Amino acid sequence: MGIVERRERLKKQVRSDIIKTAREIAREDGWQAVSIRKIADVIEYSPPILYEYFESKDKLLETIRAEGFTFLREEFERIKNLYRNAEKQLAEVAQSIWNFAMSQPEVFQVMFNLEGAYCQSKQVYVQEMNILGNPVWEMIAFLRPKAGEMVTKTYYEWWCLTFGFISITITTQPHYALRHAEPVYMEGVRRFIRSIK
């Protein structure tokens, strides 16, 4: 039955088109400008069709948010396998978060509800704070072999330092100041790594 498969493929295509279009509009004009009708216009369907792919606008944003965290998680795994030194690993992780936030700011915004992006579901955070099989948690544990609870605390500090620094930078700094902020960010991260070693 090639017909059913073709339809499956088309469904997947439309779904990813919706996500792509939402991100494009957000990137261009901010998340405030993203509306179901505008997305529908671009993908050349009527607005109700979108609800066959996403239960609500909130669920669409949740999907984009989850994709962002998945992308980062894969980056962290890659880095963990690439370097032996935990200090080097963490510095690379910090750098990869920065690069991600600068190259896909609209995703970073929806990941942390910044700049008008708003997704209610906090489920992804719980998942991401989980320490089981968490590459960054393991890097910190390796760097400073202490009690697990201590590591978890340091991991939370790391989480807030990296994502927080970038969040505030994106929100408060003008576009041209961003490249200026990068070395300050990396320096702060390195100081943090040294101070917990």
Partner DNA sequence: ATGCTTTCCAAACGGTGTTAGGTATTAATT
Partner DNA sequence: AATTAATACCTAACACCGTTTGGAAAGCAT
Binding site for a second copy (CB under 8 A): 32, 112-116, 118, 122, 125, 129, 153, 156-157, 159-161, 163-169, 171-174, 181, 184-185, 187-188, 191-192, 194-196
Q: Which stretch binds DNA (CB under 7 A): 34-42, 107-115, 166-174, 189-197?
A: 34-42
Q: Which residue has the tokens 């992804």?
A: 124
Q: Which stretch binds DNA (CB under 7 A): 48-56, 64-72, 83-91, 93-101?
A: 48-56
Distance CA 26, CA 104 (A): 10
Q: How many CA atoms within 13 Å lie on the side-chain side of 50?
A: 23
Residue 48 interface partner, choices a second copy, DNA, none, CB cut-off 5-8 Å depending on type: DNA
Residue 57 interface partner, choices DNA, a second copy, none, CB cut-off 5-8 Å depending on type: DNA
Give the one residue of 15, 17, 27, 45 binding DNA; rule: CB under 7 A: 45
State which residue, 7 or 122, has the beta carbon closest to DNA. 7
Please report which helix (H) or strand (E) contains residue 130, including its range: none
Distance CA 42, CA 26 (A): 13
Q: Does 193 bind DNA (CB under 7 A)?
A: no
Query: What does the buried/exposed string (b/e) look like for 42-59 if buried means 16 or more CB atoms within 10 Å of the residue's CB?
Result: ebebeeeebeebbeebee
Cβ count within 10 A of residue 72:
22
